[in-house]
A and B are shown apart, each in its own frame.
Chain A
Amino acid sequence: MRLELKHIHKHFGAVHANDDISIAVESGTIHGLLGENGAGKSTLMKILSGFIHRDAGEILLDGRAVAFKNPAEAIRAGVGMLHQDPLDFPPLTVLDNFLFGREDGFMQNRAGALADLQRFSRQFGFDLDPDALVSSLTVGERQQLEIMRLLSLGAKILIFDEPTTGISLPQKIKLFETLRLLAKQGMTIIFVTHKLQDAEDLCGKVTVLRLGKMTGQVTHPFTADQLVRLMFGQSLETRARASVALGEPILELRDICVADYRLRVPEINLQVRAGQVIGLAGIEGSGQRLLLRACAGLDQPVAGDIWISGARMNRQPYRDFLERGVAYLPAGRLEEGLVPGLNLTEHFILARRSREFFIDWRAAQDAAQSRIGEYSIRGVPASRVEALSGGNQQRALLALLQPNLNLILLEHPTRGLDIESTMWVWSQLLARRQRGAAIVFASADLDEIFEYSDRILVFSGGRVARALNAQETSVQQLGELIGGKGL
């Protein structure tokens, strides 16, 4: 089905979220929609899939003008959207999810749905247990379920909103394979992303948005540099790494074993010296988070010793970890890191750990204002943290860190951030490192692991590989280790 968007406009209050956007996509092609956070990609796709209404402009499907009142109408017309966080029902089973929204009679036609599900599974080589709860699936598997569901409803145009966020490397490969197959079958695919590599690998044509406007359209072959210039207006360069003199050992793990109810990772040995950066690589949920939380003093390791700056820290209270200059930034920025409902000023006051009973609000406000400027947070002292974008929440979290830290533990430090925020976050972290902090971070982004780590610890299938020297490791090697080869 041929898709044409013509002169789409959308305002949210004073913000012109979509300003005269026109895109045409032929059937059987994969069209990339690229832009940093807040560029207007999601708005445009929500308009196309019926979640929100446009202010002006036209949507044409095979030359016929359409106006969708809601997502159900869009899917009936053949437009289906896969959301970044799959819009499904985690407590229900795979089959229930697949059934939901099909209109064929009063009783649930489970046999018919099962046959359909199996047919699609065979076609794409997916392997989902129809009776499994969706909550037990990975994001990648939930995407597979959504793809099959939308196809079974007759979708001809599929929108993928940042589908590679939060899925593992093998799943990403599988996803790309599926997308190419769908295109071959004549589907029209729109691939929304902020990752250059993904756009390069997959898309025949890419439209770039910036601050609500279309900045350009490129056709394969194109270079990453071209895309970056369209996204940011200028080309960003990754700076060469400054060398840092290594200091005292800060963190030492001796035969640590971490475990939760489903996973057990034994024999982790690691020494981290001041000024070192350690990357924890591997498929999400392979124990990286468990290790970070153990190092932060939030969970107890099952066995082994944790030494921080020469002191054995097993079973010590979290407070002692804080006093030794340990800080932990979790992936759930809003859920675990910040306090939704409180504003920036209040956060800075809480982080100050002062003993005063009364608060000097004026001084606090001024202090918050200067901190906001210093960390270039897009917000005001009275902004509630939940109103900030992901990048600004991460900036706020960094601004909340104590000034003299010895060990910074981070989980997905730049997940969901645009390139500018990503580079900013790392410039902050590297500055901390210059001042003698050791950094341990987990990331699903291999480029990030390679770019910033001195040494890499690979987690795979309940095991940890010996720490690798980042300079001497190839992507190929790392990919194999993550996939469980050679461990």
Chain B
Amino acid sequence: MDTNFVILTFASILAESAPLVFAVIGETLGEKSGVTNLSLDGTILLSAMIGFAVAFTTNNLYLAFLAAMLVGALVASIVAFSSIVLKLDQIAVGFVLTLLCGDLSTFFGNPFVRKPGPAVPHFAIPGLAEIPVVGKIFFDQNIVVYLSVLLIFAAWWWIYKTRPGLKLQGIGERPAAAFARGVNVNAQRFIYTLIGGALVGFGGATYSLFVKLGWSYHHTYGIGWIALAIVIFGGWHPIRGALGAYIFGGLQSVSSFAQSAFTDVPTQVFQTAPFALMIIALLFVSNEALDRFFSGSPVSRKIWNSLRGTPPGALSTVFEQE
């Protein structure tokens, strides 16, 4: 295997995992605040479809991404409103929205099926792209990929370095204690759920306008569930979550190489294999297993401690003031 091939593989994993990164970070933010938006699979389908439809009709990519974010935020606002104001069960509402949005994407997306449309243009960053190896992987991509990488670190910085980020952790862990310290828990939860939904919507449009161009029936089916699983795998930590997204992207690349190598095996095997492998990975990569793995040296211990994550204590619960 020559180096160039390896570099290109890593570059393609970084690019093709971008939508998943948006979705994972978006959902991580929402869940950190205590609200589970289970509708991800439907939201991604609908926003991918709307994003493509807007780009197709207006030929304006900015409008397309904006529309997709609005769709994501709108669906998230239903989850937020029903759980925060109406105090309904988040899981039930999210599940119904998954089905509804999926069907809506099929219904409204019909006129756009298999139409060629615009795509996010390639944009190598002048200068940086020429750096050997690193330049090819990180700086010879497009704006959306750069944004996905920036988002990971921005989310990390926000949650762990800023005061509003500490409040975000607090409202998800123990809303009563956050309230006692002057945080408007429900307003904050609403905002984070909306932002999270908008990011998921952005991820949806990233599929239809870049990674998997165009629109077809159930275009991104299953990705939302994987994103939800990766949030758990990532221990509600943006960097670990992003790593999970890249591992899934890597599995997808491996299986697409394998597909060309083993032509007599049905292609469906390779398309579904990453999902199955991801589930197996989730089974084995628990906090305890990683605890043992990383406890060897002080350095690895330190790295692990900074990435360690547990579910927010008040995840999927309703906060009511006494």
Contacts and interface: CB of A to CB of B under 8 A. Distances in A.
B309 to A, nearest CB: 9
A100 interface: yes
A213 to B, nearest CB: 22
Contact of B182 (A89, A90, A101): A101
B270 to A, nearest CB: 40
B292 interface: no
Interface stretch (A91-99, A344-352, A362-370): A91-99
Given A89-B174, A90-B313, A72 B180 contact: yes
Interface stretch (A58-66, A105-113, A252-260, A404-412): A105-113
A462 to B, nearest CB: 23
B176 A87 contact: yes
A46 interface: yes
Interface string B164-208: 111101100110111111100000000000000000000000000
Contacts of A105: 163
A468 to B, nearest CB: 40
Interface string A40-75: 000000100001100000000000000000111001
A152 B105 CA distance: 54
B322 A51 contact: yes
B177 A88 contact: yes
A100 B170 contact: yes
Contacts, number: 63
Interface residues of B, number: 22
Contacts of A96: 166, 169
Nearest to A52: B322
B162 interface: yes
Given A101-B182, A107-B161, A87 B166 contact: no
A108 B174 contact: no
Contacts of B170: 89, 92, 100
Contacts of B182: 70-72, 75, 101, 103
B180 A108 contact: no
Contact of B162 (A70, A92, A103, A106): A106
Nearest to A86: B177
A92 B310 CA distance: 11
Nearest to B313: A91
Contacts of A91: 173, 310, 313
Contacts of B322: 46, 51-52
Contacts of A92: 166, 169-170, 173
B179 A99 contact: no
A330 B203 CA distance: 49
A99 B322 CA distance: 25
B173 A108 contact: no
Interface in B270-322: 310, 313, 321-322
B173 A107 contact: no
A108 B166 contact: yes
B186 to A, nearest CB: 13
Contacts of B174: 87-90
Interface of B: 161-167, 169-170, 173-174, 176-182, 310, 313, 321-322
18 contacts: A46-B322, A72-B182, A75-B181, A87-B177, A89-B169, A91-B313, A92-B166, A92-B170, A96-B166, A100-B166, A100-B181, A101-B181, A103-B163, A103-B182, A107-B162, A107-B163, A108-B161, A108-B166
Given A87-B180, A89-B178, 20 more contacts: A46-B322, A71-B180, A72-B180, A72-B181, A72-B182, A87-B174, A88-B174, A89-B169, A89-B170, A90-B313, A92-B173, A96-B166, A105-B163, A106-B164, A107-B162, A107-B163, A108-B162, A108-B163, A108-B165, A108-B166
